[in-house]
Structure 1
Amino acid sequence: MRPELNPGRYVFTAVPGGETPAGVTPVATVAEREGMTLVLPESEAVAVGLAYDYVAGWITLRVHSALDAVGLTAAVSLALTDAGVSCNVVAGYHHDHLFVPYARAEEAVQVLEALAAESR
């Protein structure tokens, strides 16, 4: 596993009705009963007037893990929990993606690099 911090600041926001506003390119979406959750660059949310209250750093775990693999998310979550870093996980087809508090993103990468080193 090789954690990679993507550049930028990302936010979670929600739009009713499931319509993604023009001018935004979410990196992740989740359809919920209450509306569509969007994860997108903070600058895009600001530009179109979307409210948010959580600013995150986006970490991609550069390891191809099967969608039915057991334990990776638990190990990552435990390591970050032990460091006191909150984490929101989004599973992609090729990689897992973590959204952690922006101010602690570099620290989270260090925690994950240490976890990867222990696993070798």
Structure 2
Amino acid sequence: MTSDAVRDLQQLLASMEPALDPEPYAFTTGPALPDCPAVVSVVEAEGVTAVVARANAERLGLAHEYVAARITLTVHSALEAVGLTAAVARALADAGISCNVVAGYFHDHLFVPWERREGAIAALEALTAPESPWPGSRSRGRGTQAAGGGGGVGAPAGGATRG
């Protein structure tokens, strides 16, 4: 299979174009997948985590504590690219915004607190600006480039993800 996936961190950051999904999502858990579409599912020893539209979770009476906005980085990031998740996580952490990253074959999907979605978009858009000092800029107090990745499968509850 031929892939046009981007591997270069600078190109990934410059072209990631974060897109905010207007639908709120709920992280649910149980012994099996719920009877509705899940945008993410992870099987763990304790049960199945499913990220579903909040409306579906409420309609089905699924318990959930975390309601998130889904932001898709529309650049086709290579699964083996290094640094994208680290750069995104740092930008959001600097803004005080938690993030759960899930990698698909084509795109990375970020789940941030619903009430912080606009701030997350602003932080990500600042990261894409040509004058952004990431990665490794001394002007932001980062003397070395952070390690990380641009692809891979991760647990939506903060488990292993692309770098």
TM-score (norm 1): 0.93
Instruction: Please tell me whether residue 48 in structure 1 is matched to residue 63 in structure 2.
Output: no
The RMSD of aligned alpha carbons is 1.2
Q: 1:111 aligns with which of 110, 120, 123?
A: 123
How far 1:57 sits from its partner (Å)?
0.5
Structure 1 unaligned spans of 5+: none
The number of aligned residues is 117
Query: Structure 1 CA distance, aligned partners of 2:87 and 2:130?
Result: 11
Amino acid corresponding to residue 42 of structure 2 in structure 1: V
- Over alpha carbons, which structure has the higher Rg? 2
Amino acid at match of 1:72: L
The separation in 1 between residues aligned to 2:47 and 2:100, in whole angstroms, is 18
**Larger relative contact order (C-alpha < 8 A, sep ≥ 6)?**
1
Query: Which stretches of structure 1, 4 residues or longer, exceed 6 Å deviation after superposition?
Result: none
TM-score, with structure 2 as normaliser: 0.69
Any stretches of 5+ residues in structure 2 without a counterpart? 1-15, 133-163
Q: State the alpha-carbon separation in 1 of the partners of residues 110 and 34 from structure 2.
A: 24
Q: Give the AA of the match of 1:80.
A: L
1:102 aligns with 2:117: no
Following superposition, the deviation at residue 15 of structure 1 comes to: 1.3
Q: Deviations over 1:49-70 (max 9, x none)?
A: 1101011110000111111111
Contact 2:34 2:50 (8 Å CA) reproduced: no
